[in-house]
Structure 1
């Protein structure tokens, strides 16, 4: 049997992000429209009263939501306004209509809705879904980072996404990482850096692992990067060492496809650009620990400030590079 999407989000505390829990139809429409799109909503039949709930975790260019109505409903947003939507049912089923495509979504069959598609659906009373909303601009930026050129038209994903297919199998671990990163994002530095990287992974996985109408345009780019490409990337990273940086953002800043940039760094430095960035950040952490002396900020705070969100890995990389632990560095310069 195909796996369900439910375990992917089992550890995520949606309850802390409750937007509403109500039986009032007008309140449901109004509050749902703020998180999603304006839409028509009607109850199908009269036997089941509404008992709707929406939980919403906004994450910059992404959002995670959990939504149920508690009664059979017909929903018609027409076309999504500026975003893509991945519907991952956790119980029940619904009949999705996307242009001329009709499909039953269930816990074993997710669906991707693109902004270009005419969209409406009808759900059963027990239908509940986790939704991933991805801003259209994030998809277009991810495309440009991969292809090295702007997206020529709105990209449309194949709507069906079976949970036993290769697309879901590639995407599920990234979504699980996204879900797991949220509870641990309490420290400001950790949350900002980690979420930026995971969101970048989500968008790139969508573009490279899910079927869409422009897949053939994402073939590896031929030719070498301009000589100044690596220097521009290095200058950009040095100027933003304490800010969230992603592979896609770096490619956009340099104006070359991501694969081209990665190949150029391999030729010149024997590693990818993000590995090179890690080495520069390790140097900056060491400088901060030494300069601070007895007044140095705690090692953990300094590491998080420069994007090291996994402190065990940070300590291991630091010791490998400098031959001592961060605490030993601080102790020697007090």
Structure 2
């Protein structure tokens, strides 16, 4: 899960759990005692720590970060952190192999990531909707994964959660590629937008993500977002959501599918959260999925 390290700990009630997505590993940990952690060698992967409770201190060369709830610490390859964790520190974390992070960066920028990617160690001290949203995304991914403790996490969901983590991290946490990710973004050519729409409409239930759509259309993620905004007035992933909602409606109206549950139809269409699906369905069509199902059943 982590690299070899030296640990000095007066553990009272230590706990450690991990789950793999695709290349990302999710980790929940609490040592239950005063702990000092020092990697034996410089890191060769990326990692993010998000405390849920308690506090700690992370020291880098020339920098010290105090951690606690609503904060996050980001580690990059070659970092040599020294960490001190209080007994009450409970945190969630995830690790990403360096090559996987570079691959995702290339998908988002449509450029080869020649220079190393290095993140700022702490989330911006000035809180923002974007920063809060990024930290909340990490929490949401862990809550979703935790719901599958007793059964396998579907491969499509694993990949969606991983894409969400990496994209939000790259687009929100300051790093030495931030200017490339955001500045001087030209709108994607109409043919790139048309190609993305063609692929979405052909298989709306597929494991679509902003990074994948950008890679398959040969433009950067920001260019594709701008192209969709101009052509459709919405981001690419909103278009994906609407295409999936349309697919669910067609299936709910199909008299040959009345034996399928609404939840199964929604999951098969690519939705992962039934509450948000139901709200989005009602917002788009002005009717609840259950109401549409009853209408279809009465016609058969």
C-alpha separation in 1, matches of 2:195 and 2:290: 32
Residue 327 (str. 1) matches residue 272 (str. 2): no
Matches within 5 A, 1:214-229: 214-229=177-192
* SS of equivalent to 2:264: helix
Partners of 2:224 and 2:242 in 1: how far apart?
17
Task: Answer yes or no: is the 8 Å Cα contact 2:11–2:32 preserved in 1.
Answer: no
- Give the 3-state SS of the residue equivalent to 2:189 in structure 1: coil
Find out whether 1:43 has 2:8 as its counterpart. Answer: yes
Question: Residues 45-194 of structure 1: matches in 2 within 5 Å?
Answer: 48=10, 52-60=14-22, 61-68=24-31, 70-86=33-49, 88=51, 90-97=53-60, 100-107=61-68, 110-117=72-79, 119-123=80-84, 126=87, 128-135=89-96, 136-161=98-123, 165-166=127-128, 168-183=131-146
1:72–1:124 Cα contact (<8 Å) kept: yes
CA RMSD, Structure 1 to Structure 2 (Å)? 3.8
Instruction: State the 1:305 CA deviation.
Output: 0.9
**What is the alpha-carbon distance in structure 1 between the residues aligned to residue 101 and residue 210 of structure 2?**
14
- 1:300 offset after TM fit, Å? 2.2
SS in 1 for 2:47: strand
Between the two proteins, the alignment pairs up a number of residues equal to 293
Partner of 1:30: none
TM-score normalized by structure 1?
Answer: 0.70
Alignment match, 2:166? 203
Distance 1:273 1:284 in 2: 17
Distance 2:277 2:132 in 1: 28
Unaligned runs of 5+ in 2: none
**Cα distance change of structure 1 residues 171 and 163 upon mapping to structure 2, 3 Å threshold:** farther
Instruction: Show the counterpart of 1:293.
Output: 256
Deviation at 1:327, TM superposition (A): 0.8
Deviation at 1:155?
Answer: 0.9
CA contact (8 A) 2:15 2:30 kept: yes
- Three-state SS of the structure 1 residue aligned to 2:188 is coil
Looking at structure 2, the residues matched to 269 and 125 of structure 1 have their Cα atoms a distance apart, in angstroms, of: 50
Instruction: Work out whether residues 19 and 26 of structure 2, in 8 Å CA contact, stay in contact via their aligned partners in 1.
Output: yes
Give the Cα–Cα distance (whole angstroms) in 1 for the partners of residues 87 and 270 of structure 2.
42
Mark the CA change 1:236 to 1:80 in structure 2 (over 3 Å): closer, same or farther. farther
Structure 1: distance between partners of 2:288 and 2:7: 64
1:70–1:125 Cα contact (<8 Å) kept = yes
Partners of 1:172 and 1:207 lie apart in 2 by 13
TM-score, with structure 2 as normaliser = 0.77
1:241 to 204, 220, 227: 204
Equivalent of 2:227, from 243, 264, 268?
264
